[in-house]
């Protein structure tokens, strides 16, 4: 399991959205919805994501560097300021 917190939360949502005896969702937030409801389906997806092996978001580029993610380990004070373009 790669994300125990996600697993626990998804399991709680799935348990809260059990089917009733009439083919609907038992949860009051899903009143009138057939089972499986949207929340139960989303919980099932989250359970599978929480179980999945961790894989990189994208392969390294041709130069071997990791792809840009918008996140930097360099503190902001050490980064060069962005160049400003006159509008």
Phi and psi at residue 2, to the nearest 5°: -100, -20
The C-alpha atoms of residue 5 and residue 41 are separated, in whole angstroms, by 18
Question: What pLDDT digit, counting tens, does each position of 16-65 carry?
Answer: 999 999 999 999 999 999 999 999 999 999 999 998 876 655 565 566 66
Instruction: Give pLDDT, residue 11.
Output: 95
DSSP state of 73: S
Please compute Rg for the chain using Cα positions. Answer: 22
Domain coordinates in residue numbering, the chain: 4-51
DSSP state of 47: H
């Amino acid at each position: 399991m790669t994300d125990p917190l996600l697993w626990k939360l998804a399991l709680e949502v799935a348990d809260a959205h059990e089917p009733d005896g009439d083919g609907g969702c038992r949860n009051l937030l899903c009143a009138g919805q057939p089972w499986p409801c949207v929340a139960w389906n989303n919980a099932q997806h989250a359970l599978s994501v929480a179980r999945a092996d961790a894989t990189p978001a994208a392969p390294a580029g041709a130069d071997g560097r990791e792809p840009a993610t918008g996140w930097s380990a360099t503190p902001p004070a050490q980064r060069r300021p962005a160049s400003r373009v006159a509008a």
